[in-house]
Structure 1
Amino acid sequence: MSTIDAWVARQRERASQLPGAALPWLARRRADAIARFADLGWPTSRLEGWRHTSLAFLDQQALAAPAFAHPAFALATLRAAFDEGDHWLVFVNGRFAPVLSVTGMLPAGMKAGALSEALNSAPDAVEAAFGSADDSASPYALNLALCNDGAFVHLARGTALEQPLHLVFIGATGAADTHLRNLIVADANSEATVVEHHVGGGATLGTVVTRVQAAQDARITHVKLQQQDAQAIHLAQIEAEQARGAYFASHSLSFGARLARNDIRTRFAGEGCETLFNGLYHVDGRRHVDHHTLIEHARPLGTSREYYRGLVNGNARGVFAGRIIVAQDAQRTDAIQRCDNLLLSRLAEADARPELEIYADDVKCAHGATVGQIDEDALFYLRARGIDTDHARQLFTYAFAAEVIERIAHAAVRKRGRGLLLSSLPGGARMEALQ
């Protein structure tokens, strides 16, 4: 029997208990979202954007709630890798955990807290940033219909956050599915780094939508570290809109989950915008990871750089589909898109599809992709200098992936990224000793 009706029934049962249930605008959007989900169903390979990542199996699969260690232990391990002055908002099983959260002294003009609380204290601000299910893929429509919590961050004009704000989502027992929505609103000339962590087992199915609104000359860096356990299904969307002169950087590091899908997109709504999309994924066993990106150059003088690299081992599969659209009015656009994949086994599979769609005539754009194995000549070069074959392969694999990590500007976050990379690679402990 199909699970679609069960999801619709679940939403109706939960609707009155969800945060903001008494807000008419939110009730309407949730009703529209669940109707859209029911109409579309789970994406299958018949849809062009999902032909490598069908979710048809979710139409028949009952979800179970896996066990996980106490969240305090997971958080302590995580916080030990970062600076004392960082700010932490922690969510357990999709709900805000104030006892575990430490925001410290935030700068004047900044608010950071739970979305569930902001729906009561600042409903108008949430409404303006919340988004709708129009044109959303069905998993993200389901997210809007069922989202229970997430973070709400507002940076007033000219506010600069010196230390990163960490949004930590920890899974524990008792939740078969979680649906999170994060809203980041950056007013003119504001600046912040937001690090989104997804750790542990948590829900079998998790959907996450993170929305970023960057006003004129705002600078927002978003780093996502996904390291969930092997049974997790992680479906996520990051969507940004940039006003004149705004800068948005998205760093996506995917090291966990049995199936992870990341849809990342931004739109240049003003002149002179700049963006960096930077990603690394490592999959092994029979795991599957998919990054779909979209950069819309809607206005002139925009600059975008997009670099993704994948390490694919065992019977795993890595997918990248990137699209850059340059509108007719977006003259003097400068865009580069690149995806490179390293196959570490004979059965590994990688699909890379970069696309440029250009309607302007005064542009500088380039794109490319590679899929291959470690160069045997390069291995021979190292072996001739006394390095054994296994160590030589580890060196090349790490060097291939580390280039992505080095683009992260913040030193502590960059160090954490290196640690995650090394812990995921065979022989990583040996490599770490050389750092």
Structure 2
Amino acid sequence: MTNVNYFKDQFSALQASDPNELLTGIRKENFDTFSRSGLPTLRQEEWKYTNISSLFDKDYEFAGDGKISPSLLSSLEEMRIEGYQEANELVFLNGRYAPSLSAIRSPETQLIVLPLEEAIDSKYKALVAMHLGQSSSYIKDGIHALNTSFIQGGLFLYIPKGQQLQHPVYIYHLSDAGQHHTLSQPRSLVYVEAQAKFQLAETYRTIGSCEGFTNEVMEIVVEADAFVEYYKIQNDGSNAHQTNTTHIRQMEKSHVHTVVLSLNGGMVRNNLNLVMDARGNETHLYGLSLLRGKTHVDNHTMIDNKMPDCYSNQLYKSVADDASTSIFSGRIIVQPDAQKTNAYQSSKNILLSELASINAKPQLEIFADDVKCSHGCTVGQLDEEALYYLRARGIPKENAEILLLHAFAADIVDQIKLEPLQKHTEKLIYEHLSVS
């Protein structure tokens, strides 16, 4: 059975089995979009360097809830992030939120965690109806629509007003590709009330020798004077492919801080959107890709400045070795009403192999006249003078290169404000760079 026919059959079955009025309407609208658009191809400008449609030459299936095997539990244990004892641990199994595998350590006065379907049937229904699917206004391609077509087993997080969340939220995405090629489609909606502080980290693991594809959408809504830290760690196998969309709306003056770290994987596409809907918003976006083998990572960021006096700063770094590929496309939009916007963007890259490739595309779209905006991009190799300096002091070449790469990565790692996560990240980077 082809993927298209399989998706049609699964869509019809889902609509019949889950007739929730809100979800069935959203699903149908997006499945119509998917049917018209299909999967993105290289002919589309936003996808010119990443051919995910080629991955669907294989027949992917949605994995059922399945049994919790010892191997799944072992993999879940292995992927836990340092500091997990003091964190809320939420697990997605094959793209569906699994409450039985999750551990919520914050009291309900600080954090509300619900399956998305339960949130729709609760006092949060109006809030979900208002914000679920807003990312479709900015990302209109078929792969995003495919996720929204199959919203099922999603997650709803609500941080009440004024809560300074003591326990961060760790989300583990575990996919079982042991029996067949598996398509997982996690969906989350996060609402951060006024004056709240929230820290969230995500990581991924695919088990089995078949291909795994994770097509994730997370929508985060941030209210007045709230502070949100968002971290993503990608360190999966070469048979694990991803498209990730994180869509953050700053509804009132607030602060957002994000770090995306990519080490290992197959073909990975990250969409990170920031919509500044109020005066005085501030956001910081950081990214680090340390790639080897045939890993392909495509980072797309978009910041839409809609109101005046907003500030944003982006710094994305990448290192490409072997036959890996690193792509960065950063888009800053300054709308006509967004006077006195300050927006800065920088992409810094190191190419270590003739077979590796790096493509960087910083973009500014400015429709206001009283702004400060800049962008820059560099692509080079390791500093030969620094390398010579280290080797002259008896450090072997391989170790000297590792030291320089650690130094290159340090100012991104330093932006991880959650101390246990920073230690966890430093350990992963050390292990990654130390593999010969």
* TM-score scaled by length of structure 1: 0.92
1:392 Cα deviation from its structure 2 partner: 0.6
Q: 1:153 aligns with which of 153, 157, 163?
A: 157
Q: Report the identity percentage.
A: 29
1:27 Cα deviation from its structure 2 partner: 0.6
CA distance in 2, matches of 1:236, 1:269: 22
Structure 2 equivalent of residue 433 of structure 1:
none
Number of residues paired by the alignment?
425
Aligned partner letter, 2:406: Y
Alpha-carbon spacing, 1:109–1:394, altered in 2? closer, same or farther (3 Å): closer
Alpha-carbon spacing, 1:174–1:152, altered in 2? closer, same or farther (3 Å): farther
Structure 1 equivalent of residue 26 of structure 2:
29
1:64 Cα deviation from its structure 2 partner: 6.8
Alpha-carbon spacing, 1:391–1:201, altered in 2? closer, same or farther (3 Å): same
Tell which deviates more after alignment, 38-47 or 53-62.
53-62
Q: Aligned to 1:84, what secondary structure does the other structure show? A: helix
CA offsets per residue over residues 61-109 of structure 1, 9 Å max, x none? 2237999972322332344621522111112222333332111232515
Q: 1:55 aligns with which of 48, 52, 71?
A: 52
Structure 1 equivalent of residue 193 of structure 2:
187
Q: 2:420 aligns with which of 392, 412, 422?
A: 412
Structure 2 equivalent of residue 327 of structure 1:
335
CA offsets per residue over residues 336-366 of structure 1, 9 Å max, x none? 1011111121211000111111122222221
Structure 2 equivalent of residue 403 of structure 1:
411
Alpha-carbon spacing, 1:369–1:317, altered in 2? closer, same or farther (3 Å): same
Structure 2 equivalent of residue 295 of structure 1:
303
CA distance in 2, matches of 1:129, 1:98: 23
Structure 2 equivalent of residue 108 of structure 1:
109
Q: 1:270 aligns with which of 263, 275, 278?
A: 278
CA distance in 2, matches of 1:124, 1:65: 29
Tell which deviates more after alignment, 90-99 or 288-297.
90-99
Q: Aligned to 1:330, what secondary structure does the other structure show? A: coil
Structure 1 contact 87–163 (Cα < 8 Å) conserved:
yes
1:177 aligns with 2:178: no
CA distance in 2, matches of 1:356, 1:267: 15
Structure 2 contact 81–424 (Cα < 8 Å) conserved:
no
Structure 2 contact 233–260 (Cα < 8 Å) conserved:
yes
Structure 1 contact 65–204 (Cα < 8 Å) conserved:
no
Aligned partner letter, 2:201: V
Structure 1 contact 293–322 (Cα < 8 Å) conserved:
yes
| Contiguous gaps of at least 5 residues in structure 2 | none
Structure 1 contact 89–113 (Cα < 8 Å) conserved:
no
Aligned partner letter, 2:285: F
| Contiguous gaps of at least 5 residues in structure 1 | 429-435
1:213 aligns with 2:221: yes
CA offsets per residue over residues 173-203 of structure 1, 9 Å max, x none? 4671111111110111111101112123376
CA distance in 1, matches of 2:249, 2:13: 34
Q: Aligned to 2:42, what secondary structure does the other structure show? A: coil
Aligned partner letter, 2:95: G
Structure 1 equivalent of residue 16 of structure 2:
16
1:368 aligns with 2:368: no
1:314 Cα deviation from its structure 2 partner: 0.8
Q: Aligned to 1:28, what secondary structure does the other structure show? A: helix
Q: 1:167 aligns with which of 148, 167, 171?
A: 171
CA distance in 1, matches of 2:188, 2:196: 18
Structure 1 contact 243–269 (Cα < 8 Å) conserved:
yes
Alpha-carbon spacing, 1:120–1:420, altered in 2? closer, same or farther (3 Å): farther
Q: Mapping of 1:311-326 within 5 angstroms? A: 311-326=319-334
CA offsets per residue over residues 92-150 of structure 1, 9 Å max, x none? 22233333211123251530233243234343332222115455221110000113223
Q: Aligned to 1:162, what secondary structure does the other structure show? A: coil
CA offsets per residue over residues 308-345 of structure 1, 9 Å max, x none? 11121111111000011112221111111011111121
Q: Aligned to 1:221, what secondary structure does the other structure show? A: strand
1:59 Cα deviation from its structure 2 partner: 4.8
Instruction: Quote the RMSD (CA, aligned, Å).
Output: 2.2
CA distance in 1, matches of 2:92, 2:35: 28
CA distance in 2, matches of 1:304, 1:94: 32
CA distance in 2, matches of 1:69, 1:281: 32
* TM-score scaled by length of structure 2: 0.91
Structure 1 contact 3–58 (Cα < 8 Å) conserved:
no
Alpha-carbon spacing, 1:295–1:393, altered in 2? closer, same or farther (3 Å): same
Structure 1 contact 212–239 (Cα < 8 Å) conserved:
yes
Structure 1 contact 149–179 (Cα < 8 Å) conserved:
no
1:126 aligns with 2:102: no
Q: Aligned to 2:231, what secondary structure does the other structure show? A: strand
Structure 2 contact 313–343 (Cα < 8 Å) conserved:
yes
CA distance in 2, matches of 1:241, 1:96: 23
Aligned partner letter, 1:130: L
Alpha-carbon spacing, 1:256–1:69, altered in 2? closer, same or farther (3 Å): farther
1:260 Cα deviation from its structure 2 partner: 0.4
Aligned partner letter, 1:356: L
CA distance in 2, matches of 1:230, 1:80: 21
Q: Aligned to 2:409, what secondary structure does the other structure show? A: helix
1:427 Cα deviation from its structure 2 partner: 4.7
Aligned partner letter, 1:396: L
Structure 2 equivalent of residue 196 of structure 1:
202
Q: Aligned to 1:171, what secondary structure does the other structure show? A: strand
Structure 2 equivalent of residue 252 of structure 1:
260
